Amino acid sequence: MSGTMDGRGVVFLGSPAFPDAARTALADTRLRTNLRRATTTIRDKRLQVTGELDDWEDLRAAGEAVKRRTLRHLDVHLLRLEESVTRAGGVVHWAADAAEANRIVTELVRATGGRDDETREVVKIKSMATQEIGLNEALAEAGIAAYETDLAELIVQLADDRPSHILVPAIHLGRAEIRDLFATEMARWGRPAPEGLTDDPAALAEAARLHLREKFLRAKVAVSGANFACADTGTVAVVESEGNGRMCLTLPETLITVMGIEKVLPSWRDLEVFLQLLPRSSTGERMNPYTSMWTGVTPGDGPRAFHLVLLDNGRSDTLADTVGRQALNCIRCSACLNVCPVYERTGGHAYGSVYPGPIGAVLTPQLVGVEHAASLPFASTLCGACYDACPVKINIPEVLTHLRAEVVEAKRAGRRLPSPEALAMKAATAVLVSPARLGYAQRAAALGGRALARRGRIGRLPGPFRGWSDSRDTPAPPTESFRTWWRKNREGEQG
């Protein structure tokens, strides 16, 4: 579903720019109700469990420090990881972009032995990296079915929809919609939903469990992402809540893990920090119900073959930007989405990217180039709630303003004539540097305001200023400026 930008994927091709998509989303009251309910619940849980720890701020600082240190010598840690995984019996592959990663995974699945129908399907653990590269679509083109096994991802797959949240991909759907979906679509993908299925969460979970069980037991190949990988031991870690990951990581004969290169940690000991930060920030739990770790292959236990695909796909370009590179510190907890007033109202689809919300607004333009996602850095009020919530202290507002400047610069460079906004700023500069000109401008504004205002407000500004007044109240300028009032009333008084 994700499209390609020089083979990179990430964004959903054909999606409207954020302002247009947001306008449509805002008109959907059911979506807004679902989002408000879900984000409020997760937000409250997160606040409760992070508030329990006296050293929460120290943990955040430690997480930030480890991530920053890792990025400074990313090449060294990655080579060390390759060595460790190879030593433990795994095979490491390097993919420069989405197209290369998809090719590698497709060839690996094809090369796996077994009956034809077994090698034409894989089970998948929820993974942002594989969504980013559009792996399911690439496998489908090669005649290989990819079955999502995370409950929310399964729902999204059955609905032929797109995920709208990093952690809760089906956050935009209600229970009744999910029930209908199971009843009508499950049979198309395998075992049908039980007769008389209700929208009781336990009944829905049981239906999914039965549907997925036969796929777990049959599949010869599993594809996963990775939350972390330790360079010193070659250990890869996946955290999850449902146990579907554990099934995928242990039952099939071959395991293929696609991991963004920024997920490497220098050492096993670093997990101590992140396994505390991640569950509390994401699901609001003290620890994840399932934390699976594996190091290469172990004879007689788990998959017989392990392949680790290290994905760049724009990350090296992001790393080269000294301000923007902090976006690579992200551990995909989604805390920034749940506190963002823009995300809460528009939902994830409006961002047109695999990565929605505040982190998507800074990561997507860097992965695909700002020219391909120019509206995203502006999809924020810059309130800073994301920065406060981020467990690894990514200064998202700083990156947003940095990217906004890049978008403006790129637009200016491509224009022969200055934009109306640039002309307005130039005119404002000329007025503001001269007290006399400012006085004239204030008097002119007061006169104009009186002519246009109704009950102290200007309804709609004329001409090019209409864009401003269409979505805001414009108060009429005061009849007397502060400077005039001061001259009349206070000038000459002793301070």
Residues that bind ligand SF4 (CB under 6 A): 281, 330-336, 359, 389-392, 394
Mapping DSSP to helix (H, G, I), strand (E, B) and coil, where does residue 311 land?
strand
- Tokens describing residue 80: 């060390």
Burial class (CB in 10 A: 0-12, 13-18, 19+), 90: buried
371: which DSSP letter? G
Cα–Cα distance for residue pair 313/131, rounded to 1 Å: 12
Indicate the helix (H) or strand (E) that contains 122: strand 121-124
Q: With respect to ligand SF4, which residue has the nearer C-beta, 82 or 344?
A: 344
Separation in Å, CA 418 to CA 414, 424, 425: 10, 10, 11
Cβ–Cβ under 8 Å, residues 240 and 125: yes
Q: With respect to ligand SF4, which residue has the nearer C-beta, 212 or 331?
A: 331
Question: Which parts of 243-334 fold into alpha helices (H)?
Answer: 244-250, 271-282, 315-319
Q: With respect to ligand SF4, which residue has the nearer C-beta, 310 or 390?
A: 390
The helix-helix angle for 435-452 and 482-489 (nearest 10°) equals: 110
Mapping DSSP to helix (H, G, I), strand (E, B) and coil, where does residue 491 land?
coil
Q: With respect to ligand SF4, which residue has the nearer C-beta, 334 or 442?
A: 334
For residue 394, the minimal CB distance to ligand SF4 (Å) is 5
Which phi and psi angles does 129 have, rounded to 5°? Answer: -65, -40
For residue 217, the minimal CB distance to ligand SF4 (Å) is 34
For residue 489, the minimal CB distance to ligand SF4 (Å) is 50
Instruction: Please list the residues that pair with 94 across neighbouring strands.
Output: 310
- Tokens describing residue 426: 């130039």
For residue 372, the minimal CB distance to ligand SF4 (Å) is 21
For residue 374, the minimal CB distance to ligand SF4 (Å) is 21
The helix-helix angle for 271-282 and 56-72 (nearest 10°) equals: 120
| Identity of residue 246 | R
Cα–Cα distance for residue pair 90/256, rounded to 1 Å: 10
Q: With respect to ligand SF4, which residue has the nearer C-beta, 105 or 333?
A: 333
Cα–Cα distance for residue pair 149/65, rounded to 1 Å: 34
Cα–Cα distance for residue pair 176/180, rounded to 1 Å: 6
Q: With respect to ligand SF4, which residue has the nearer C-beta, 181 or 390?
A: 390
For residue 357, the minimal CB distance to ligand SF4 (Å) is 7
Instruction: Give all strands of the β-sheet with 474-475 in edge-to-edge order.
Output: 453-454, 457-458, 474-475
Question: Which parts of 160-300 fold into alpha helices (H)?
Answer: 175-189, 201-218, 244-250, 271-282
Q: With respect to ligand SF4, which residue has the nearer C-beta, 69 or 412?
A: 69
Q: With respect to ligand SF4, which residue has the nearer C-beta, 226 or 330?
A: 330
For residue 232, the minimal CB distance to ligand SF4 (Å) is 23
Q: With respect to ligand SF4, which residue has the nearer C-beta, 152 or 248?
A: 152
b/e sequence 375-404, b meaning 16+ C-beta within 10 Å: bbbebbeeeebbbebbbbbbbbbbbbebbb
Q: With respect to ligand SF4, which residue has the nearer C-beta, 64 or 100?
A: 64
For residue 327, the minimal CB distance to ligand SF4 (Å) is 7
For residue 277, the minimal CB distance to ligand SF4 (Å) is 8
For residue 72, the minimal CB distance to ligand SF4 (Å) is 19
